[in-house]
Structures are given as C-alpha cells and as structure tokens.
C-alpha cells in the first residue's frame, strides 16, 4: 500500500453531503472554531452560511496551484469521518483510492491489516 498522495478523491467524493458529524464535534466548533461552525446547519456540515444550501465541495479543501495535490485548511479539527477514512479496502477500491496497489488487490485481508496499522493514530481499527 502506498502512502497517501493527497489526490483529493476522498474529499471531493464525500464533501457534498456525504459526511456525518457528531454533536460533540459541532459543540467543539461552536466554542473553539466558530469559522467552521458557520458551515453547520441543522446538524449537517458544509452548508453555505448565506443560503443554508449544501456546498458542492468542502469549503476547507484547497487544490495546490499547478499540482494535483489537495490540502485541508482544518486538518487538525476536521470531522471524524475525514480522520477515519479510509476504513476498508473495499471502500478504497470503490473510491479509486490511489493508495491501493496491485498486491493489495491480490491479498485484501493482508491489505486490510496494513491499512489498520497505517490508520492506528487516526481511527479505531476496523473489526
């Protein structure tokens, strides 16, 4: 399995209403990160503060000029859904994640173990 190359596929795929957020995350943003909280509406995230409509992309996603690299302006305070991604090899395949290699496809059980080790600091292991 390759290191993440910041291709942005996960962010662009799930940024349009595909993420959930906990009440604790919303409360944290309300108190400590009001600029993030401004994009919360009725428990949903990445809503336009002016119109209340769902944004097409996460407002914190930045594409680096002249590169196919994306960064996150709220990386340390991003939603748990973002922190935990990817959870399964199947999810990575479906999302065309660029971390997947042919050897991972040949041995998905081992690939899942490798993924769980890579993600140990970001999320609980998949069981």
| Percent of the chain clearing pLDDT 90 (strictly above) | 68
Q: How far apart are CA 80 and CA 67, in angstroms?
A: 27
Contact (Cβ atoms closer than 8 angstroms) between residue 24 and residue 31:
no
**Predicted confidence (pLDDT) per residue in 93-127, tens digit:** 999 999 999 999 999 999 999 988 888 887 765 55
Residue 26 has pLDDT above 70, yes or no: yes
Q: Give the residue-averaged pLDDT of 63-71.
A: 92
Residue 54 has pLDDT above 90, yes or no: yes
- Residues whose CB is less than 8 angstroms from the CB of residue 69 and which lie 6 or more positions away in sequence, other chains included: 5, 6, 7, 8, 63
Q: How far apart are CA 122 and CA 81, in angstroms?
A: 10
**Predicted confidence (pLDDT) per residue in 31-49, tens digit:** 999 999 999 999 999 999 9
* Distance linking the first and last C-alpha atoms of the chain: 19
The pLDDT, as a whole number, for residue 124 is: 61
- Cα 33 to the center of its chain, rounded Å: 18
Residue 72 has pLDDT above 70, yes or no: yes
Q: How far apart are CA 19 and CA 9, in angstroms?
A: 14
């Amino acid at each position: 399995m390759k290191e993440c190359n910041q291709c942005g596929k996960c962010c662009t795929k799930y940024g349009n209403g595909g993420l959930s957020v906990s009440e604790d995350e919303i409360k944290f943003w309300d108190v400590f990160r009001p600029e993030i909280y401004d994009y919360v509406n009725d428990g949903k995230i990445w809503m336009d503060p002016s119109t209340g409509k769902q944004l097409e992309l996460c407002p914190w996603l930045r594409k680096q000029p002249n590169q196919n690299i994306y960064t996150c302006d709220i990386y340390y305070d991003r939603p748990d859904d973002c922190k935990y991604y990817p959870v399964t090899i199947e999810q990575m395949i479906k999302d065309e994640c660029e971390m997947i290699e042919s050897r991972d496809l040949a041995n998905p059980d081992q690939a899942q173990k490798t993924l769980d080790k890579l993600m140990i600091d970001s999320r609980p292991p998949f069981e």
